[in-house]
Amino acid sequence: MAVILDVVLNHTSNDHPMMKQHPDWWMRDGEGNLTRETEEWSDVADWNYENPEVREYLREVLLYWANEFEVDGFRCDAADRIPIGFWRETVKALRDVKPGLYMLAEGQNPRLIEAGFDSDYDTALYDRLRDYARGEGTLDGVRHAVLRYDSLYPADARPLRFIENHDQVRAASDEAFGNPGYRPFAALIFTLPGQPMLYNGQETGTTLQPSLFEKEPIDWLNQDLNVLGTYRALCSLRNVSETLQHGGLSMLSVEPGDRVTAFTRSYRDDSLLVAINFDSVEVTSRLQAKYWSRGKWAVLSHSFDDTLNTVLIENGALKLPPLGWLVMRRLK
């Protein structure tokens, strides 16, 4: 297990104990009142990054945790609100003392990856997934979001992909994807390149929106075992497959393209075929790519109710379970 520390370096409370000693370390208006970039966040004040002492102090805070406690990484809150120059200098300093440190930026901007972060939040993909779930978008829009990320970001970027987080409604709620409607969306983020995320309690199927300011432990006594089983299967698949962890992506043409998406993941000499059905009924899809349209396949993961070890694809036809997925490796 790796331990990643959540750090907030954009702002503090309005009564931070160092304010009396260093009043110029915070943003203030012409009358000396505390200010912040987002005015409705009235309970916080922004650090003044124009002051080099602030940059040095906050850099030393991160170095302290990396050196003294050997944390495995940092999740940096509101990272896209902080000057890129600070991140460029700070991430380099951190990696000088701990080369394998994982850096996650809350925000979405290719410059964060260029500054040294491993991952940022793929909010654009999440938004397209929500649009599709609401009937306001298309799977083409989802596919475009994935390909657009690849076109804008460095090749080694590992986008954090999610279907819920602390700022969004619960994935299993009817406001988002529903239960069992969340299943194909979960399968997608676990089989795409990047870093899939499970938010606190997501694996239990809870629809309770947690408070950001109160301790709310996961309610394991009221967990949905079907939801837990789904995430266990997807986590297990991801953990055993280097191809899903590190492989490249190629989208495939598939029919019906408004209900099904399919793509390949390739790494070294291994290639996987992933097909996901977003419809609530069983669908027979048709793959258009010549290489993938026929042959016998070993099933690595699926959401059919029955045991399934192999699949025979003929003339591109592939049967998919309702709200489900198939991940396969071609038998040689």
Q: Is 226 helix (H, G, I), strand (E, B) or coil?
A: helix
24 lies in the same domain as 122: yes
Q: From the first residue on, what is the mean pLDDT of each consecutive set of 10 residues in the chain (332 residues)?
A: 96 96 96 92 96 98 96 98 98 96 98 98 98 97 97 96 96 97 98 97 94 88 96 96 96 94 94 96 87 79 80 83 92 74
93 lies in the same domain as 69: yes
Q: Which residue, 246, 270, 287, sits at the end of a domain?
A: 246
181 lies in the same domain as 282: no
H helices of the chain, where? Answer: 52-68, 84-97, 110-114, 123-133, 139-152, 183-191, 225-240, 242-246
Q: What is the CATH number of the domain that holds 137?
A: 3.20.20.80
| Tokens describing residue 250 | 């190629």
267 lies in the same domain as 181: no
CA torsion, points 317, 321, 324, 330, in degrees to nearest 10? -40
CA torsion, points 31, 36, 41, 47, in degrees to nearest 10? -120
236 lies in the same domain as 302: no
Q: What is the CATH number of the domain that holds 302?
A: 2.60.40.1180
171 lies in the same domain as 219: yes
221 lies in the same domain as 284: no
Q: Which residue, 246, 262, 285, sits at the end of a domain?
A: 246
212 lies in the same domain as 293: no
318 lies in the same domain as 199: no
Q: Which residue, 231, 246, 261, sits at the end of a domain?
A: 246
pLDDT at 291: 67
Domain range for 302: 248-330
161 lies in the same domain as 272: no
57 lies in the same domain as 188: yes
Residue type, 118: D
Give how many domains the chain has, as a whole number: 2
262 lies in the same domain as 299: yes
292, 265 contact by CB (below 8 A): no
| pTM (two decimals) | 0.95
